[in-house]
Amino acid sequence: MMEQTIWGHLPVLMRANSKESIEYILQALWRTRKSGLGTSDRCIIQDMLQLHNESDLDPLLVCLRMLIRRCVYENTSKEDIPKLFPDEVLPELQKLLTLLLQKFQREWQEDVMKDQNIVPRLKAMTWNMANLEKGSADPAAVIDLKLQNDAPFQSGVQDVKFQLATDSIDMMLKTMHCIRDQFSTMQEDIDDRPSQGNQDSGFSLNWRNHLRSLVFSI
């Protein structure tokens, strides 16, 4: 019942003079998703929608934030965005909001991933030699990485291939050895701490095994 009441405020958007005005409203709501709309943004939006009372603005903003949240955080596909609207919403308004949400969905989801600082992790690595023809002066290795992406909107395994020549491999090995030394220093610090029981011992063992498999697979 509450959602039905909220949807009833969407037609207020029809007061806007242009598609760009509605686009600005959606972008402002996303930009201020953590802090809430400031006074200046509220005044701009109120003028865009030709609202005399500021209190008429809040129910609309609640409805739009709900739409944005479902579109971004619930991993709604572009094709399913129109299904977010009940039949009572005007068709022309559904179409306009659908186009705008589809336009910004990927960008907003990337913002969320940046906020969460999620990066893929190495799942597997294979390699083979390239340029093995007789007389080839530039032998190279082709590295094939499988990266596990645990991000909420792009989960799955990603394949990455790249080629390494001798000088590139030397540089990469030097970097990996520096990483190994840094991990070793961190591990020594952990080992020097007072024991906290079997659970911590198991964690240290798993960490050490993972470190070895990561560094020495190269």
What are the 10-residue block averages of pLDDT along the chain, 218 residues in total? Answer: 69 92 96 92 94 90 93 86 88 93 92 78 85 65 84 72 83 86 82 60 50 47
pTM score: 0.59
Per-residue model confidence (pLDDT) at position 198: 52
Edge-to-edge order in the sheet of strand 156-164: 121-130, 140-149, 156-164
Per-residue model confidence (pLDDT) at position 55: 86
In order of 55, 71, 208, the CA distances from 30 in angstroms are 20, 12, 42
Per-residue model confidence (pLDDT) at position 134: 55
- Phi/psi of residue 128, nearest 5 degrees: -150, 165
